[in-house]
Structure 1
Amino acid sequence: MSYTCETAKMESWRAFLTGFLVLCLLSVGSAQSSSPDCSFPAIYNFGDSNSDTGGISAAFLPIQAPYGEAFFHKPAGRDSDGRLIIDFIAEHLKLPYLSAYLNSLGANYRHGANFATGGSTIRKPNETIYEYGISPFYLDMQISQFDQFKARTNDLYQEAKKPSDRINLPRPEEFSKALYTFDIGQNDLSVGFRKLSFDQLRAALPDIINQLASAVQHLYNEGGRTFWIHNTGPFGCLPVQRFYILNPEPGLVDQYGCIKAQNEMAVEFNRQLKERIIKLRAELPKAAITYVDVYAAKYGLISNAKKEGFAEPLKVCCGYHVNYTHVWCGTKLIINGSEVYGPSCSNPSSYISWDGVHYSQAASQWVANHILNGALTDPPTPITQACHRR
């Protein structure tokens, strides 16, 4: 597989991704290993809205209906109609869904915690590249929250006088056995596209990648040993990127309607991320670090949407977007004296995009099914065996 994928890299980035996906899906069995399953006791997740299970809702205004309608049957702090990839990871590992670290009520941290919050970036929001922040919970802040969480729960665990006092607390010895997951970087590109030239953003990528690597190194020094790191998805395929481009110039978009230059930047981000992860493996010899090609999975779904039973890939389930009139999912707007709502579609499971920015539960499940078995990871290891160094 390694030789085939390396050869494919010599082709155009789009041909590589399509060919890579097809190849890896045909060879899922070869990614399996005879190694025993890891039996992770917990998951600690860091990221943005792609994996936020309630952080931004707890910190600010709660996400409103119809979010959550397809699975939770009510808003559940997720920017989707239902579950996210992180939820399917938890299910696959037979662990409960992660409570957001910022939740003040109803949280259970026995099997991990979620530090991801919508709008988060890797770099600190007030750095020059941003000028203004889209979330105060950038990656270093999430890492600081983890440090506080680990120290505080350890104190509470030691101070507990009876087993029932520890029922919702992680066991101190299990932090080193937990799975540490990352899904962040999309918003760094988003703000970069708005505020910088392509050359400026490209020049900023090494620093962004290094800050992500520093977070991994910090967790390693805190005892973390298993890391599952998602790359960033095909940013140019988010329907919101086309809301204000009704008649694209020739060459701006690909055959699926995705903005080529934005996807190429995402591919470059991912290339540098993969190279940095390879270096991290040498720097952190006791760590098992898996690079997860979410881009290939998502672009594979988008490029084969109809064959996989989905609608046109840039169609949006929830919201009203006609010409330059936009009513976002779950909101309403007065247009010509009449209220126009941003309702959800009748069959969300047939849509890839839920609200123009975030994926539907059905799409997230499709992606999860194509990454958790190790077919699109480096090394090609199923998540259940990701603790083993390759």
Structure 2
Amino acid sequence: MGLTPVFSLLFLSCLHGVSSFTSMFTFGDSYIDTGNFVIMAANPAIPVWQNKPPYGMTFFGRPTGRISDGRVIVDFIAEQFGFPLLPASPQNSSDASEGVNFAVGGATAIDVGFYERSKLVQFQLMNNSLNVQLGWFEELKPSICNTTEECRDRFSKALFFVGELGVNDYNLVWNAGKTEDEVKPYVPKIVKKIAMAVERLIKEGAIYLVVPGNPPNGCSPTMLALRSSLNTENYDHIGCLIDINRVARRHNSLLRVAIGVLRVKYPHTTIIFADFYHPIISILPNPNRFGVTGPDTLRACCGGGGKYNWNASSVCGMPGVTACKDPSTFINWDGVHYTEATYRYIAKGWLYGPFADPPILNAIHH
């Protein structure tokens, strides 16, 4: 089938943009982790269910450390720009020339010590916060570039992802039994940490940065199962928890403001707000339009039963816990994370619009 002239021009302009990135560096949590959590959690005494089948069943045919049935958002972005799928950082210290993924499942925006000291958690957290990931980036710099000048030049041609971050912070507070009024004061603190990380990378020479917001966590099977309520007023028309989603929207609006401030301060940069909320919210009420034909859009594909197909004692990856036949007909994979099909849809919306301000491919040409 021949390309129409207009489409040919679009295609060529996209190709033109593609050649302008030489590498990709990503920071965040399990939504974009490509194996760091599994490496860090490698303890023979504690099974890591995320590294057991059926994880990875769709694309790789085996678990790869990605917490999904297949590829995650940054895999699709990497493919768009002709990069190899970014390896996890500890595996990749030998060659960081085309980029590294520092994101880790469970990562927080605020340092974990804060949550341990505040007694919000009764157990020790993995030390993988945003600050820690930036530290790994600093440590790896000598294997990427030698002089300040060379580093600035290299990073000016790289695409940086800072996030998604914040979901794990909020979950720690929600799961400590806090109310919406008690969770809300954390929002500016969390957003400030993300903005500080963006600024730190700009000072290293980063010019192109993608900063994703929070998804509608009140629609996640895990939160729906953990905070199930008999009070119908706690749920919206889709069946999601109103208070949790209200905090996510507050986070996203404050993050947009923070990005606006940074754009004014650093006019030579392109800071992209990537909307993680509306892609999910757009699928939920109209699942059939997106090929989502699972029995209930709020159910996980892989889980141990119950209304939302999630319960803490039989999570995806445990012996005897099965996945749906076709994950592409589900939005959610394992109660927390999304299916490859959902991630592909989000990545496309970030690259071409409408779910990014500005879309990643537009930003290159400005």
**TM-score, normalised relative to structure 2:** 0.84
Check conservation: 2:302, 2:333, Cα contact below 8 A.
Answer: yes
Find the counterpart in structure 1 of residue 65 from structure 2: 77
Equivalent runs, 1:28-107 vs 2, <5 Å: 37=17, 39-61=20-42, 63-103=51-91
1:232 is displaced (CA, Å) by 0.5
The match for 2:192 among 210, 219, 222 is: 210
1:247 is displaced (CA, Å) by 5.5
Q: Residues 219 and 356 from structure 1, CA distance in 2 versus in 1: closer, same or farther, beyond 3 angstroms?
A: same
Equivalent runs, 1:241-390 vs 2, <5 Å: 241-244=223-226, 248-310=230-292, 311=294, 312-322=296-306, 326-332=313-319, 341-379=320-358, 381=359, 383-387=360-364
Report the 3-state secondary structure (helix = DSSP H, G, I; strand = E; otherwise coil) of the residue aligned with 1:174: helix
Q: Distance in 1 between matches of 2:228 and 2:144?
A: 52
Say whether 1:147 aligns with 2:138: yes
1:83 is displaced (CA, Å) by 0.4
Deviates more, 1:284-293 or 1:238-247: 238-247
Deviates more, 1:342-351 or 1:170-179: 170-179
Runs of at least 4 residues off by over 6 Å: 31-35
How many equivalent pairs are there? 335
Check conservation: 2:96, 2:144, Cα contact below 8 A.
Answer: no
1:243 is displaced (CA, Å) by 1.9
Deviates more, 1:116-125 or 1:58-67: 58-67
Post-superposition Cα deviations, 1:6-59, rounded to whole Å, max 9, x if no partner, equal xxxxxxxxxxxxxxxxxxxxxxxxx99979515211110000000000101111
Q: Residues 231 and 245 from structure 1, CA distance in 2 versus in 1: closer, same or farther, beyond 3 angstroms?
A: closer
The match for 2:174 among 168, 183, 193 is: 193
- Give the aligned residue type for 2:75: D
Q: Residues 272 and 147 from structure 1, CA distance in 2 versus in 1: closer, same or farther, beyond 3 angstroms?
A: same
Structure 2: segments with no counterpart, 5+ residues: 1-9, 43-47
Find the counterpart in structure 1 of residue 158 from structure 2: 178
Post-superposition Cα deviations, 1:284-319, rounded to whole Å, max 9, x if no partner, equal 222110111111111111222133221221121112
Structure 1: segments with no counterpart, 5+ residues: 1-30, 157-169, 333-340
**TM-score, normalised relative to structure 1:** 0.80
Check conservation: 1:234, 1:266, Cα contact below 8 A.
Answer: yes
Check conservation: 2:153, 2:205, Cα contact below 8 A.
Answer: no
Report the 3-state secondary structure (helix = DSSP H, G, I; strand = E; otherwise coil) of the residue aligned with 2:90: coil
Q: Residues 151 and 315 from structure 1, CA distance in 2 versus in 1: closer, same or farther, beyond 3 angstroms?
A: same
- Give the aligned residue type for 2:297: P
Post-superposition Cα deviations, 1:351-371, rounded to whole Å, max 9, x if no partner, equal 111111110111111222222
Q: Residues 131 and 252 from structure 1, CA distance in 2 versus in 1: closer, same or farther, beyond 3 angstroms?
A: closer
Check conservation: 1:288, 1:388, Cα contact below 8 A.
Answer: no
Check conservation: 1:233, 1:266, Cα contact below 8 A.
Answer: yes
The share of aligned pairs that are identical, in percent, is 31
Find the counterpart in structure 1 of residue 7 from structure 2: none
Q: Residues 37 and 198 from structure 1, CA distance in 2 versus in 1: closer, same or farther, beyond 3 angstroms?
A: same
Find the counterpart in structure 2 of residue 18 from structure 1: none
Q: Distance in 2 between matches of 1:387 and 1:211?
A: 26
Q: Distance in 1 between matches of 2:335 and 2:302?
A: 8
Check conservation: 1:243, 1:321, Cα contact below 8 A.
Answer: no
Deviates more, 1:320-329 or 1:48-57: 320-329
Find the counterpart in structure 2 of residue 116 from structure 1: 103
Find the counterpart in structure 1 of residue 3 from structure 2: none
Q: Residues 130 and 362 from structure 1, CA distance in 2 versus in 1: closer, same or farther, beyond 3 angstroms?
A: farther
1:246 is displaced (CA, Å) by 5.5
Q: Distance in 2 between matches of 1:181 and 1:118?
A: 15
Q: Residues 153 and 377 from structure 1, CA distance in 2 versus in 1: closer, same or farther, beyond 3 angstroms?
A: closer
1:199 is displaced (CA, Å) by 2.0
Find the counterpart in structure 1 of residue 217 from structure 2: 235
Report the 3-state secondary structure (helix = DSSP H, G, I; strand = E; otherwise coil) of the residue aligned with 2:314: strand
1:213 is displaced (CA, Å) by 0.7
1:154 is displaced (CA, Å) by 2.8
Check conservation: 2:221, 2:299, Cα contact below 8 A.
Answer: yes
- Give the aligned residue type for 1:313: T
Q: Distance in 2 between matches of 1:291 and 1:246?
A: 32
1:145 is displaced (CA, Å) by 0.7
Check conservation: 1:125, 1:131, Cα contact below 8 A.
Answer: no
Q: Distance in 1 between matches of 2:335 and 2:217?
A: 11
Q: Residues 353 and 122 from structure 1, CA distance in 2 versus in 1: closer, same or farther, beyond 3 angstroms?
A: same
1:225 is displaced (CA, Å) by 0.8
Q: Distance in 2 between matches of 1:307 and 1:384?
A: 25
